[in-house]
Amino acid sequence: MTERTQVGIVGAGPAGLLLSHMLHLAGVESVVFERGNREHVGTRLRAGGLEHGAVALLERVGLGARMRKLALSVAATDFRFDGCGHRVDFRAITGHPFTIYPQYEIVSDLLEARAAAGGEVRFDTPVRRIDGLESARPVIHYEAGGSVRRLECDFIAGCDGYHGVCRQAIPASVQRVFEENYPFGWLGILAEVAPPSLEVAYACHERGFAMQSFRAPTISRMYLQCPPDDRADNWSDERIWSELALRLDVPDRPPVARGPIVQKSVTAMKSFVVEPLSYGTLFLAGDAAHIVPPTGAKGLNSAMADIALLAPAFAAFYRTGRREGLDGYSAACLRRTWQVQRFAAEMCTLLHRFPGASDYAWRLQREKLAYMTGTATGMRTYAESFVGLPFEP
């Protein structure tokens, strides 16, 4: 027997869950498929920062209560290079702060909202393939109970990430991929220690990039540039703290605070965009459509910006039968996506020490940082990009 719904959503990350929630508010049915279990989805430690557009969106769709209670507001970024700190007060420049509210908290809020509404989120349910994208009845083939079953829908939303089946269902002759792999990775550290300051610090050091951030008043999140094929078990706690202090500590700022390290992992750095973001009845969002290096804190925000366009486009179609929002979705998203890519790639190349780079390139890099942090034009350019582009065109 073939099941049926209006919008089939593949992937229960922030993009897929937010889309399902917003469709429910608009009276549109959806089913979400997720290959992982609920615990895995609800505890994945990913992004932690929200642009002002993302905060406004969560408030608008009724998901602001816990965020208002738990979130932390950041007013400035502290860039550390050439032995001292250079503070850029982006809230003073733009009127907007940056909000620290971890992805797992957003996912928790969304899962609670979907459960309260009786929404269908099917965990431990891998999607094997999708087809019929050029027809009015696309089909999601998913695995459940040891067999492959079918769900017919009007549309499919591919929110299943870079390695998911949805993007792969678009014919290669139709799809264009833009991709850049960087020659370094990040060693990410989560530590049970209060950060020395509730500001984010970026270090551009001759030994490589480092970052000091936080997830809560007593939880620090830090990163170290490392080789892309490095392994977390190559880094002892003492080596981590020594290297963080070497790269981040400057005389005019509080030193790195040490504490128990509870998690460490290595992440590769990648920039990626696929065009178009739609094909027939399939619409891509989030990491299935684009990836940015995390230096600019844009991945989660970009996924939410996609849904801020896609959900109303679906709602308008079911309310009026008009397709303008759906037909214009890809172009509208890509306009914002490429500006986000520009900023994230610039931050990545500006703050990291590239293997084999000349002394000239290294000196020029720091001069660019000096301009960005020491002139009104440079600071405004950074501030406006960091706090976020508008979520809607």
Model confidence pLDDT, tens digit, residues 155-173? 999 999 999 999 999 999 9
Taking residues 242-264, report their average pLDDT: 96
Residue pair 86/350 in contact by the 8 Å Cβ criterion: no
Give the C-alpha separation, 128 to 164, whole Å. Answer: 10
- With respect to residue 301, please indicate whether it lies within any of the assigned structural domains: yes
Q: 193 and 325: one domain?
A: no
Q: 289 and 238: one domain?
A: no
Residue 371, domain extent:
183-269+355-387
- Asked if pLDDT for residue 39 goes beyond 90, the answer is no
State the pLDDT confidence band at 36, using cuts at 50, 70 and 90.
confident
State the pLDDT confidence band at 43, using cuts at 50, 70 and 90.
low
- With tokens 């979400």, the residue in question is 32
- With respect to residue 393, please indicate whether it lies within any of the assigned structural domains: no
Per-residue model confidence (pLDDT) at position 355 = 94
Q: 119 and 246: one domain?
A: no
Residue pair 78/204 in contact by the 8 Å Cβ criterion: no
Per-residue model confidence (pLDDT) at position 45 = 58
Q: 56 and 167: one domain?
A: yes
- With respect to residue 80, please indicate whether it lies within any of the assigned structural domains: no
- With respect to residue 278, please indicate whether it lies within any of the assigned structural domains: yes
Per-residue model confidence (pLDDT) at position 119 = 95
Q: 253 and 114: one domain?
A: no
**Residue 59, domain CATH:** 3.50.50.60
- With respect to residue 93, please indicate whether it lies within any of the assigned structural domains: no
Burial call 29-49: b when 16+ CB within 10 Å, e when fewer: bbbbbbbbeeeebbeeebbbb
Q: 278 and 172: one domain?
A: yes
pLDDT digits (tens, 9 = 90+) for 256-295: 999 999 999 999 999 999 999 999 999 999 999 999 998 8
Q: 38 and 135: one domain?
A: yes
Q: Which residue has the higher pLDDT, 337 or 37?
A: 337
- Asked if pLDDT for residue 393 goes beyond 60, the answer is no
Q: 11 and 39: one domain?
A: yes
Q: What percent of the chain has pLDDT over 90?
A: 90
State the pLDDT confidence band at 146, using cuts at 50, 70 and 90.
confident
**Residue 260, domain CATH:** 3.30.9.10
Q: 124 and 210: one domain?
A: no
Using CB atoms within 10 A of its CB, is residue 320 exposed (0-12), middle (13-18) or buried (19+)?
Answer: exposed
- With respect to residue 213, please indicate whether it lies within any of the assigned structural domains: yes
Residue pair 121/20 in contact by the 8 Å Cβ criterion: yes
- Asked if pLDDT for residue 58 goes beyond 60, the answer is yes
Neighbours of 1 (CB within 10 A): 5
Taking residues 311-336, report their average pLDDT: 97
Q: 260 and 277: one domain?
A: no
- With respect to residue 82, please indicate whether it lies within any of the assigned structural domains: no
Total domains, the chain = 2
Q: 147 and 285: one domain?
A: yes
- With respect to residue 371, please indicate whether it lies within any of the assigned structural domains: yes
Q: 264 and 222: one domain?
A: yes
